[in-house]
């Protein structure tokens, strides 16, 4: 079966039969998958998740909020009601909703925005101690690095816009604000609640005379690289995202986690839980693959010359 056909089957299954089984089959395991974004995007993530899971006899029950964050608590409760043996939750809002829905079902988190220990979700990274493990990124230093890269690419930058989705938490926001102070840059925060806010927010950035843009990490920025890249170019804003796909779709720079490796990593953790590992003792992991993508074509359109330091460090340069 072609991957495209498989994804279409998955997308349809989010509102019909659970993924991976027919009405007559009785799977050995049931796993929930909670995603805050669009069902079509969740379908791609689920296909990658199943690759990491590597188990044939698993029923994956998917729920997507379609960018309506307020629906996540009810969707999490639905998954708990399905008596799943583990739940994979993508992003801080989905994780919070799942934790409120259950204190006993193991949760595998995919979260690039939170500190699980500071938030009280885990006692420590090595021994989480509760019912949550997963993959988290050490954002403070990483977020600061993205701003440094943008400053290298745009040496004349004086004011930087920070595109922020409050549902993702404030950890990375404070880190970038601190980094901006060190770099003598003036930061201005622009909040978004959903994709419908993108167009107006970019117009506000231009009006504020921002000379650069950092797209702070959230499911909204990871799931909409093409729209955000188009808006950044149309509004002549040199921008960097923590998702490499942003640059591949026309943004200036993408530096961060390779999502195609991240979701299978969560699948591997889930498999360990299904096969008997204790969630309280299964160490929280970090992403293992990162990419720096630089788009020279976009730089030229913005009348910029990307420095040799970035071009030599890049895993991919788009001419």
**Residue 78 and residue 175 in one domain:** no
Is 214 found in the same domain as 156? Answer: yes
314: helix, strand or coil:
coil
| Statement to judge: residues 161 and 209 lie in one domain | yes
Confidence check: pLDDT of 151 > 50: yes
pLDDT-derived band of residue 16, with 50, 70 and 90 as boundaries?
Answer: very low
User: Does residue 310 share a domain with residue 268?
Assistant: no
* pLDDT of res. 289: 85
- Domain extent, residue 153, equals 139-257+290-318
What does the pLDDT look like over 259-297, one tens digit per residue?
888 999 999 999 999 999 999 999 999 998 899 999 999
- Report the alpha-carbon distance of residue 269 to residue 51 in Å, rounded: 12
Q: Are 188 and 158 in contact (CB under 8 A)?
A: no
User: In CATH, what number is assigned to the domain containing residue 305?
Assistant: 3.40.50.2300
Q: Is 68 helix (H, G, I), strand (E, B) or coil?
A: coil
Which pLDDT band, with edges at 50, 70 and 90, does 91 fall under?
Answer: very high
| pLDDT over 90 (residue 187) | yes
Same domain for 305 and 265, yes or no, is no
Residue 132 Cα distances to 29, 91, 121, 282, angstroms = 18, 13, 7, 9
pLDDT for position 9:
34
Sheet holding 107-111, edge to edge: 58-64, 29-35, 86-90, 107-111, 132-136
Sequence length of the chain is 319
| Percentage of the chain modeled with pLDDT above 70 | 91
Please tell me the least confidently modeled range out of 134-143, 144-153, 159-168, 255-264: 134-143
DSSP 319: -
Report whether 291 contacts 140 (CB < 8 A).
no
Same domain, 157 and 191: yes
């Amino acid at each position: 079966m072609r991957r495209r056909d498989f994804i279409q089957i998955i997308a349809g299954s989010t509102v019909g039969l659970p993924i991976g089984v027919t009405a007559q089959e009785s799977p050995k395991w049931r796993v929930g998958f909670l995603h805050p974004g669009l069902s079509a995007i969740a379908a791609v993530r689920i296909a990658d998740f199943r690759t990491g899971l590597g188990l044939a006899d698993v029923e994956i029950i998917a729920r997507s909020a379609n960018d309506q964050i307020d629906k996540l608590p009810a969707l999490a409760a639905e998954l708990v009601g399905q008596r799943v043996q583990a739940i994979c939750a993508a992003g801080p809002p989905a994780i919070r909703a799942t934790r409120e829905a259950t204190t006993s079902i193991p949760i595998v988190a995919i979260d690039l925005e939170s500190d699980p220990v500071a938030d009280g979700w885990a006692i420590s990274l090595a021994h989480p101690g509760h019912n949550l493990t997963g993959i988290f990124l050490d954002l403070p230093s990483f977020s600061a690095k993205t701003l440094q890269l943008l400053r290298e690419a745009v040496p004349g930058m004086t004011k930087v816009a920070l595109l922020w989705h409050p549902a993702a938490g404030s950890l990375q926001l404070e880190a970038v604000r601190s980094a901006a102070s060190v770099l003598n840059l003036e930061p201005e925060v622009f909040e978004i609640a959903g994709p419908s806010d993108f167009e107006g927010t970019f117009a506000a950035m231009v009006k504020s005379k921002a000379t650069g843009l950092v797209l702070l990490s959230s499911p909204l920025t990871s799931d909409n690289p093409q729209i955000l890249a188009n808006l950044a170019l149309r509004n002549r804003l040199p921008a960097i995202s923590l998702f490499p796909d942003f640059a591949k779709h026309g943004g200036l720079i993408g530096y961060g986690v390779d999502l195609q490796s991240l979701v299978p990593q969560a699948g591997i953790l889930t498999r360990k839980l299904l096969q008997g590992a204790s969630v309280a003792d299964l160490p929280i992991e970090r992403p293992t693959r990162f990419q720096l993508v630089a788009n020279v074509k976009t730089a030229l359109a913005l009348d910029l010359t990307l420095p040799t330091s970035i071009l030599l460090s890049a895993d991919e340069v788009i001419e």
